[in-house]
Amino acid sequence: MRLENKVALITGAGSGIGLESALLFASEGAQVIIVDVNDTAGKEAVKRIETKGGEAIYVHADVSKGDDCRKMVAAAEQNFGKLNVLFNNAGIMDSGDDNAMATDEDVWERTMAINLKGVFLGCKYGIPALQRAGGGTIINTASFVAFLGAATPQLAYTASKGGVLAMTRELAVIHAREGIRVNALCPGPLRTELLMKFLNTEPKKQRRLVHIPMGRFGEAKEIAKAALFLASDDSSYMTGASLMADGGITAAYVTPE
């Protein structure tokens, strides 16, 4: 049990990476706070965990709102007495996200509010709880696009994930001596509802696939296993790192400095 006696809060846990991580974390002994804006999906995730003998609660929270983030962290401490793992995973990929000329300001603002501000707010209210617990770990979902441009334009998303990566590094440095580790999880293109809705035509999918050395989209379950590594003591000497789980795409296109 790699997360025995640990309490883990996961945002965006109703689907995709968040859901698979919640199920995996619970199977490894964690008590899980499922956070989402989709109440049906969030409650169903709790049922799936409880059916297998795990412990979980659902909290409705919009991560772009400070009061919601404060309440989700409070719920963790009120129900389970502490918080050990904070997984800032919630994010969007708006279908209107394109190049600088075609992307509307409201698409930019909404993407930044959820993908970047949401991570900030999760840390703002989550870090004090980790401090009260005597330390812990934060996982922030970034993306391979934080390292290279996307073949299909998605400027707001790419910029937001670059911000997540920079924030992760600074938080790691600030809190390292407090026993709080902060790492970024950087998935490659995945066969999730989020990406498949964005790559809504076969030519778009093929344009993305051609760049992946493994020649396929990743699965949410595969990224959940990487998240488990960062959440557990197996990664005890890692902080400020970017864990790539991208099918080799950055190895093929990013030149080391």
Which helix (DSSP H) or strand (DSSP E) does residue 256 occupy? none
Instruction: Give the CA distances from residue 200 to residues 56, 192, 204, 206, 208, in Å, rounded to whole numbers and listed in that order.
Output: 34, 12, 7, 11, 12
The Cα 22–Cα 4 span in angstroms is 14
Neighbouring C-beta atoms of residue 143, cutoff 10 Å:
26
Q: Which two tokens stand for residue 190?
A: 């995945």
User: Which one from 58, 125, 157, 253 is the annotated catalytic residue?
Assistant: 157
Most distant CA pair in the chain: distance in Å?
51
The answer for 53, left when phi > 0, alpha when psi is -120 to 50, beta otherwise, is left
246 φ, ψ (degrees, to nearest 5): -130, 15
The reply to whether 157 belongs to the active site is yes
CB-CB contact of 87 with 72 (8 Å): no
Q: Which two tokens stand for residue 156?
A: 């707001």
- Catalytic residue numbers read 157
